[in-house]
Amino acid sequence: MEASPVTVAAHVLAVDDDPSVRQMIVDYLGDNDIRVTALSSGKQIPEIMARETIDLLVLDIRLPGEDGLQIARQLREESAGLPIIMLTGRKDEADRVMGLELGADDYLTKPFSPRELLARIRALLRRSRSQQTVADGLQKVRAYRFAGWELNVRVRRLTSPDKGVVALTNTEFNLLAAFLAAPQRVLSRDQLLALSRLHNDEVYDRAVDTQVSRLRRKIEPAEAEARLIRTERGAGYIFTAAVEIVR
């Protein structure tokens, strides 16, 4: 069985003043093939970031003598793509809201289960790496062609086989680009949530189904027997057509 790309070579930076919490994170993530650098203070973060490639940050925002929210704000400005999970106390609702507004991706309240932390980390790493892959790919692609259609990436224009222009929302464009970047591959709803930038605290899997349905209505004739986007029950969706890339 092939190893999960989420856990291979992932490097997590964990910042917490509690040595027992740091040790728990190091031990549990280490047992699950994730490398961890653990710090007791946010003051050490710049040094680590300067010499190491960090995939995700776990940050206690209640560090003694330090402003965890300010640390999160500064890191978001300097490393826009770095996923951040905040650790907060149960009564720190205002801090959680502020942290999410500053750009943190997720939070856990103490005490927390290391198993849940691992699940959150894996989900964020999948989302982050999927977004990077598609973004990098789109920078190198001028257009995708499939079944007589053409999606011009540079001007975000979809042209039908009869040369008509079909309007797409931003979400529909991102969703179609995600499918075209990975044809004949099953994409889970989690992947599509991330790739189409649908994800937020109020969005669930059903949002993907709704957007796929809308996209289908635009690119699949009502009388067509074969679907361009096929549902894989319990797994997600697959784009079935051959795709030509124009660079």
User: Is 36 within 8 Å of 25 (Cβ atoms)?
Assistant: yes
Measure the CA–CA gap between 201 and 119, rounded to whole angstroms.
16
Nearest to 205 by CA among 178, 237, 182: 237
Can you give the pLDDT of all 247 residues of the chain as single tens digits?
333 333 345 789 999 999 999 999 999 999 998 989 999 999 989 888 877 778 899 999 888 888 888 888 888 877 767 888 988 876 767 767 777 777 778 888 888 999 999 999 998 888 776 665 555 556 677 789 999 999 988 888 899 998 899 998 888 888 899 899 889 988 888 778 776 654 443 344 467 888 899 999 999 876 666 689 999 988 899 999 999 887 7
Measure the CA–CA gap between 110 and 241, rounded to whole angstroms.
48
For the stretch 155-174, pLDDT in tens is 888 999 988 999 988 888 88
**Average pLDDT score over the chain:** 81
Name, in order, each residue with C-beta under 8 angstroms of 166's C-beta and a sequence gap of 6 or more: 158, 159, 160, 218, 219
For the entire predicted model, the pTM comes to 0.53
244 forms beta bridges with 145
User: Is 176 within 8 Å of 215 (Cβ atoms)?
Assistant: yes
Measure the CA–CA gap between 2 and 162, rounded to whole angstroms.
43
